[in-house]
Structure 1
């Protein structure tokens, strides 16, 4: 599988690589930050959240919470709040990656059943 494209760390075990194959399908539309940074970390968060029995919907709500929090920090417009906004936004983006991976891992389709 030399032509296979996976976003991996050099220390990934065979189990992690197999999980990446299962839950991180390659997309040519994926942006560089997501591919080179977030996807490499997200599988470990996905495994943690799966062990904690979080649902994909719960992780989606975490993502929304952190993205909204980043907006709040931006409105504050201080040097510290801009750093916090950067961190909060990236956590929201990371959780956005994780919710899809968790859905594929647990075979649960995220739904809007909470409405």
Structure 2
């Protein structure tokens, strides 16, 4: 399907619903995994499932932004870098740090109180 601004405008009313459904699926999956796996392993599996469910959409945007901001000063060059499908040094470092931070924070929430973790998914 080809990108269409009109279709995106029609679809944006469902973005919150998609987020809630994704959060619900991840929360339920965490509850199941946490019964027979250590918390940190359950969290890592949830993160993998999240990446698969969303197609790493947000992570891809973060990487593009980091490469563009870190790779150039001129606006045109930044935009050119952001459109490039390859990942650069700034993007790779940003992605690794973001996923490590996410994992650490989710494990911390789970160890504090799993209800807080389930709320974080939503």
TM-score, normalised relative to structure 2: 0.32
- Could you say which structure has the larger radius of gyration? 2
Q: Higher helix proportion, which one?
A: 2
TM-score, normalised relative to structure 1: 0.33
